[in-house]
């Protein structure tokens, strides 16, 4: 059938074939859309690595890009430890892990409860991991959990520790977790390829660090806050203008999300230097390497929440324009490609320098010089340690007060139950005694 139509069109022209021009137009449209989708889909990971017996710890692995990373690595035989805010007995998490085990044919998928919005929860898990003797095997840590406000100027939400939620979940939680797990990372055998993969975002390019914005209502920032904020803005102050005006501009126009990603990249570089400076007892070179990954613009739940502004009208507009977002935004599987490249590319298992920045499965240089600035990194590190110390002390005091109140309530309940039991017992005894008296008096009367 197609051959006679083609020969007929060649001999007598395309007009002789029914709907020929319409078919050609639609074929051109489909081809253009396919090419655009392929272009916006980004690079594909072509690296391969044996992942059997590898122990991988990951945050944000239950949705979006993290879920795609987990599925791919689990399919390759890796042992996955999901760090989630849900308890392992949560029905959603139980079903998710069961489905993941069946789809990947891998039973080595587990979950640990770690709430990134709670410094105490992070310390509780990480301390338990580090205290294990001998040190537990750990081949990779992937940190891709994050949160974002629906609108840029929306009211920030605070964590139970009194910090901005974006700051604590996106940056400080990762700092806290890696700081405590550092001994476990350094204790890995020298022949083991250990990688720490940190998620970034292009929003870091236009971000400014104003650490005063990280504080909530519980405590005030320390001196290191001002020092770090000054260090990150000193270059712009040279161009003229009052510091007060610039601080006001940064506070109103800077995205907290971008600030957390810039801070995380600065810390990632500093953490690599921290690991490399460690002298192993066996005199072997450090085998742990930090990699920073920018997955690109991806259709994750966080991205959708930001696009819609967290409103129903925004969601309606998003649904109407969904074909556009489908075309220009990556699918979660496509966004995971750079993470998989960082996890499996052989050349990142060698060398001590680490701190590579990867985007579209290629190495790039960060566009902010603060990322490699040792002075800024030192001040940010000190500020983070001071902030964690203050918040953990406050959290310990709150837990002590809550425990005392619970103990007091428990004692009150026990006393109330005891009084109730005593009154019930005395009432029963009274009724029993009263019921015997008439029989006794009646007996005496009968004897008379």
Beta strands 288-294; 194-199: pairing state: parallel
**Active-site residue, selected from the candidate residues 128, 238, 244, 261:** 261
Between CA 58 and CA 197 the distance in angstroms is 9
Residues 6+ apart with CB under 8 A from 304: 318
Between CA 52 and CA 309 the distance in angstroms is 42
Token pair in block for residue 414? 């026990």
Q: Give the helix/strand (H/E) hosting 416.
A: helix 374-447
Cβ atoms of residues 163 and 216 within 8 Å: yes
Instruction: Count CB neighbours of 90 within 10 A.
Output: 14
Cβ atoms of residues 143 and 198 within 8 Å: yes
Give catalytic status of residue 155 as yes or no. Answer: no
Cβ atoms of residues 208 and 232 within 8 Å: yes
The dihedrals phi and psi of 194, each to the nearest 5 degrees, come to: -105, 130
The dihedrals phi and psi of 224, each to the nearest 5 degrees, come to: -65, -20
3-state secondary structure of 294: strand
Cβ atoms of residues 186 and 395 within 8 Å: no
Q: Give the helix/strand (H/E) hosting 233.
A: helix 223-237
Give the HSE-up count for residue 406: Cα atoms under 13 Å, Cβ half-sphere: 6
Question: Residue 55: left if φ>0, alpha if ψ -120 to 50, beta else—which one?
Answer: beta
Find the length of the chain.
Answer: 448
Q: Order of strands, edge to edge, in the sheet holding 356-359?
A: 109-113, 79-84, 55-59, 140-143, 194-199, 288-294, 356-359, 362-364
Q: What residues act catalytically? A: 261
């Amino acid at each position: 059938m197609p051959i006679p139509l083609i020969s007929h069109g060649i001999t007598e022209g395309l007009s002789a074939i029914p709907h020929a021009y319409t078919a050609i137009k639609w074929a051109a449209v489909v081809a253009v859309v396919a090419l655009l989708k392929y272009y916006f889909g980004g690079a594909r990971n072509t690296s391969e690595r044996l992942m059997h017996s590898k122990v991988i710890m990951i945050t944000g692995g239950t949705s979006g890009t993290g879920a795609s990373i987990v599925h791919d690595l689990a399919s390759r035989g890796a042992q996955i430890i999901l760090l989630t805010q849900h308890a392992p007995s949560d029905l959603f998490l139980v079903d998710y892990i069961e489905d993941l085990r069946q789809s990947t044919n891998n039973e080595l998928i587990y979950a640990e409860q770690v709430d990134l919005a709670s410094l105490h929860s992070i310390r509780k898990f990480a301390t338990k991991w580090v205290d294990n003797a001998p040190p537990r095997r750990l081949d990779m840590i992937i940190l891709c959990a994050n949160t974002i406000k629906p609108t840029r100027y929306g009211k920030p939400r605070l964590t139970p520790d009194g910090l901005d939620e974006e700051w604590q979940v996106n940056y400080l939680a990762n700092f806290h977790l890696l700081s405590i797990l550092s001994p476990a990372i350094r204790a890995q055998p020298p022949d083991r390829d250990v990688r720490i993969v940190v998620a970034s975002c292009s929003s870091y390019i236009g971000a400014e660090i104003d650490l005063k914005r990280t504080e909530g209502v519980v405590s005030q920032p320390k001196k290191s806050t001002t020092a770090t904020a000054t260090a990150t803005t000193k270059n712009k102050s040279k161009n003229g203008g009052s510091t007060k005006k610039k601080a006001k501009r940064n506070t109103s126009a800077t995205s907290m999300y971008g600030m957390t990603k810039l801070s995380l990249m600065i810390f990632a570089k500093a953490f690599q230097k921290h690991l490399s400076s460690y002298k192993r007892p066996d005199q072997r070179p450090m085998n742990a390497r930090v990699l920073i990954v920018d997955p690109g613009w991806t259709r994750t739940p966080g991205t959708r929440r930001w696009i819609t502004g967290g409103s129903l009208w925004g969601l309606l507009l998003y649904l109407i324009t969904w074909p556009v977002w489908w075309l220009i935004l990556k699918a979660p599987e496509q966004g995971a490609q750079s993470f998989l490249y960082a996890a499996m590319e052989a050349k990142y298992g060698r060398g001590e320098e680490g701190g590579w920045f990867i985007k579209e499965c290629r190495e790039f240089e960060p566009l902010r010089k603060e990322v490699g600035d040792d002075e800024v990194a030192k001040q940010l590190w000190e500020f983070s340690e001071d902030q964690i110390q203050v918040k953990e002390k406050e959290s310990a005091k709150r837990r002590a007060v809550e425990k005392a109140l619970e103990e007091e309530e428990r004692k009150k309940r026990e006393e109330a139950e005891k009084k109730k039991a005593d009154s019930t017992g005395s009432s029963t005894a009274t009724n029993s005694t009263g019921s015997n008296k008439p029989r006794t008096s009646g007996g005496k009367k009968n004897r008379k």
